[in-house]
């Protein structure tokens, strides 16, 4: 019908001339045919009846038929005037345009209705599918094929026989198994066994048992009568170097955080209603127990200050702009958390390899301090024997002593033993009675490229211009070999040469030594060329090498030998007085490791010498003359 109407109208526009009455009659008939096809015959007759145009349609009068068209096309029954013959062409053109608009509009509506129907069918199918899915979920629970597959995998992993961990096998279980730290262990237990246990910082080098000691201490204290810790007191362990947090407290594994709905972090049922949900941290997990932070000296300073506040309040408080105390939809436990806080009453034990001066003073003021000492060779040997017993393996003679020459850490000693144990098992598959040989231990040491820890061994005898000084780095003492050569020089134009790597304070000690030697001997060192050397290029970050340097220069200048098995430490003043220095215990330990028989220390440091020392003599001196008298060979 559209193509017919378009052709009809196009032909009228392109070739128009004043129509004759017959042509007008045919045109009117054609328009009625168009309307009949458009509405349908039945609907057209019904429409004409309502518009009082039925008689006009069947009239033999052309004007009345045109009037009937006007009523039908314009949908207006008020048309009464029958048009004159000369008006009919114009009226027909208007009616043709109107019919064209109606047909076009109907065509567009039909296409839209069809598209709407298709969309409604699609949405209907999706809606039906969603309802079916929901019903299946309600009938079958939250599981699906994927979750059931992962559950089966988890159950298979859980049912598998776990691999034995060497850490669990060799970990100390009693205070007696913490080798070489008996006094420190007693101090640790004493601070926890009271009705008012203290927060504690444990200082010491790595691998000496700080973490194991804290864990064992809690288990030991829980067993005593009237223990401050309940039987189920937790031991929460975390590494200070790995604690990461967001300054906005979006995430904070240590103290806890609030999962606001905007971050999609709360449970869905709470997030959908705009309710924030607190997530508790490790301080709350440690409630009534111990929070152990390894390498506490590496913690972020701001996070550490927040932790100190929790230690004072013994509670953690949360804040959120989403929390509305007047919202009746907020669960009671969330209201309690926001309004009263979460209990966090724990004992903090921090461990560090740093020097105490490097730690936060506010932290130190709140904690008792316990010092773990470096392990001696006999302690390493005992740890090896103890671990071999736990592994149910036999050792050839001298293996503990061999391992003790290469390491000063209990953890590393166990690693060497485990490597040798694995090598022995590999060589003897199926054999349950394993014997570790010295050759297997040597092979492990070679593959690990290990060398004896202390290569500087004191020997009997005497030398001119040579003496052993003592230094300390962290919690480890070491022996420094200082040697001096003195050559005659031009009067007043002599030079003093010193290692550039030794440090400015060590060079200052040389100039102090010049003043002391001049007062002792009357010799002006500006008349000599003097070369002072720290063998190995060691760096001396302090004045403690002053006494050793002065004695070596004096020996070389006066050609008087000094004992090889004696080591000295102390600052020298220009008046010849021996002033106190730090790290006395560590230095004595380092000297003992090197085979030194006698150590000279400042008199003011005598109180720092540990009791019960064996295998080494410690003598206090107050001035250079006393030190020279003790150190000179007879």
Which residues are catalytic, by number? 544, 587
Is the Cβ–Cβ distance between 584 and 605 less than 8 Å?
Answer: yes
CA max distance for the chain: 160
Cβ contacts of residue 476 below 8 Å, gap of 6+? Answer: 205, 374, 408, 586, 589, 590
The CA angle 249-255-258, to the nearest 5 degrees, is: 45
Q: What three-state secondary structure class fits 117?
A: helix
The residues pairing with 347 across neighbouring beta strands, listed in sequence order, are 290
Is the Cβ–Cβ distance between 466 and 564 less than 8 Å?
Answer: yes
230 φ/ψ angles, rounded to the nearest 5 degrees = -70, 165
Comparing CA positions, the residue from 72, 40, 34, 37 lying closest to residue 53 is: 72
Question: CA-based Rg of the chain, rounded to a whole angstrom?
Answer: 49
Tokens of 118: 């298709």
Distance CA 202, CA 356 (A): 10
Tokens of 335: 């209201």
Instruction: Output helix, strand, coil percentages for the chain, rounded to the nearest 5.
Output: 50, 15, 35
Q: How far apart are the first and last CA of the chain?
A: 136
User: Is 525 exposed, middle or buried (CB count within 10 Å of its CB: 0-12, 13-18, 19+)?
Assistant: buried
Is the Cβ–Cβ distance between 550 and 514 less than 8 Å?
Answer: no
Distance CA 546, CA 600 (A): 13
Tell how far CA 134 is from the center of its chain. Answer: 40
Distance CA 480, CA 567 (A): 9
Distance CA 506, CA 383 (A): 38
CB atoms within 10 A of CB 239: 15
Is the Cβ–Cβ distance between 188 and 203 less than 8 Å?
Answer: no
Tracing tokens 């009037």 back to the chain, one arrives at: 67
Is the Cβ–Cβ distance between 133 and 125 less than 8 Å?
Answer: no
Q: What three-state secondary structure class fits 416?
A: helix
Is the Cβ–Cβ distance between 487 and 556 less than 8 Å?
Answer: no
> Can you give the three-state secondary structure of 208-237, one letter per residue?
CCHHHHHHHHHHHHHCCCCCCCCCCCCEEE
Distance CA 527, CA 495 (A): 8
Distance CA 487, CA 496 (A): 10
CB atoms within 10 A of CB 186: 12
Comparing CA positions, the residue from 164, 191, 205, 584 lying closest to residue 379 is: 205
The b-or-e profile of 296-327 (16+ CB within 10 A means b, else e) is bbbbeeebbebbbebbeeebbbbebebbeeee
CB atoms within 10 A of CB 575: 11
């Amino acid at each position: 019908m559209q193509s017919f109407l378009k052709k009809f109208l196009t032909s009228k526009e392109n070739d128009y001339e004043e129509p004759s009455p017959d042509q007008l009659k045919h045109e009117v008939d054609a328009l009625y045919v168009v309307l009949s096809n458009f509405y349908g015959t039945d609907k057209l007759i019904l429409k004409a009846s309502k518009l009082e145009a039925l008689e006009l349609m069947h009239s033999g009068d052309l004007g009345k038929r045109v009037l009937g068209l006007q009523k039908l096309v314009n949908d207006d029954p008020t048309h009464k005037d029958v048009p004159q013959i000369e008006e009919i062409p114009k009226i027909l053109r208007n009616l043709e345009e109107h019919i064209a608009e109606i047909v076009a509009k109907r065509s567009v509506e039909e296409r839209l209705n069809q598209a709407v129907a298709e969309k409604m069918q699609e949405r209907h199918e999706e809606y039906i599918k969603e309802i079916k899915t929901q019903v299946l979920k309600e009938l079958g629970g939250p599981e699906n094929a994927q979750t059931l597959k992962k559950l089966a995998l988890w159950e298979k992993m859980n049912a598998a026989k776990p691999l034995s961990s060497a850490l669990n096998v060799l970990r100390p279980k009693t205070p007696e198994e913490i080798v070489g730290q008996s006094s420190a262990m007693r101090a640790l237990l004493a601070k926890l066994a009271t009705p008012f246990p203290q927060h504690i910082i444990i200082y010491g080098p790595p691998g000496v048992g700080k973490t194991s000691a804290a864990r064992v201490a809690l288990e030991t204290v829980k067993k005593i009568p009237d223990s401050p810790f309940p039987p189920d007191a937790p031991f929460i362990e975390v590494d200070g170097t790995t604690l990461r947090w967001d300054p906005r407290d979006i995430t904070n594994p240590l103290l806890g955080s609030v999962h606001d709905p905007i971050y999609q972090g709360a449970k869905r049922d709470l997030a959908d209603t705009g309710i924030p949900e607190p997530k508790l941290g490790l301080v709350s997990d440690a409630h009534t127990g111990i929070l152990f932070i390894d390498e506490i000296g590496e913690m972020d300073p701001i996070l550490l200050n927040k932790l100190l506040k929790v230690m004072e309040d013994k509670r953690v408080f949360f804040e959120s702009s989403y929390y509305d105390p007047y919202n009746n939809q907020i669960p009671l436990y969330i209201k309690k958390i926001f309004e009263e806080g979460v209990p966090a009453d724990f004992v903090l034990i921090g461990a560090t390899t740093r020097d105490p001066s490097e730690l936060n003073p506010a932290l130190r003021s709140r904690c008792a301090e316990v010092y773990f000492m470096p392990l001696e060779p006999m302690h390493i040997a005992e740890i090896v024997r103890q671990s071999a017993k736990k592994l149910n393996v036999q050792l050839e003679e001298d293996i503990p002593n061999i391992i003790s020459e290469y390491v000063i850490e209990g953890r590393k000693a166990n690693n060497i033993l485990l490597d040798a144990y694995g090598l022995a098992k590999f060589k003897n598959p199926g054999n349950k009675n394993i014997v570790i040989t010295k050759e297997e231990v040597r092979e492990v040491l070679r593959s690990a490229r290990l060398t004896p820890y202390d290569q500087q061994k004191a020997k009997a005898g005497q030398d001119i211009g040579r003496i052993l000084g003592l230094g300390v780095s962290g919690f480890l003492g070491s022996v420094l070999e200082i040697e001096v050569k003195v050559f005659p020089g031009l009067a007043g134009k002599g030079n003093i040469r010193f290692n550039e790597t030794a440090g400015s304070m060590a060079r200052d000690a040389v100039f102090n030594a010049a003043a002391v030697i001049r007062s002792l001997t009357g010799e002006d060192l500006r008349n000599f060329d003097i070369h002072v050397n720290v063998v190995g290029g060691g760096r001396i970050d302090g004045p403690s090498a002053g006494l050793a340097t002065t004695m070596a220069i004096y020996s070389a200048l006066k050609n008087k030998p000094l004992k090889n098995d004696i080591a000295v430490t102390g600052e020298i003043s220009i008046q010849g007085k021996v002033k106190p220095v730090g790290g006395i215990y560590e230095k004595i330990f380092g000297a003992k490791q090197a085979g030194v028989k006698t150590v000279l220390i400042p008199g003011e440091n005598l109180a720092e010498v540990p009791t019960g020392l064996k295998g080494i003599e410690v003598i206090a001196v107050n001035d250079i003359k006393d030190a020279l008298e003790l150190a000179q060979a007879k």
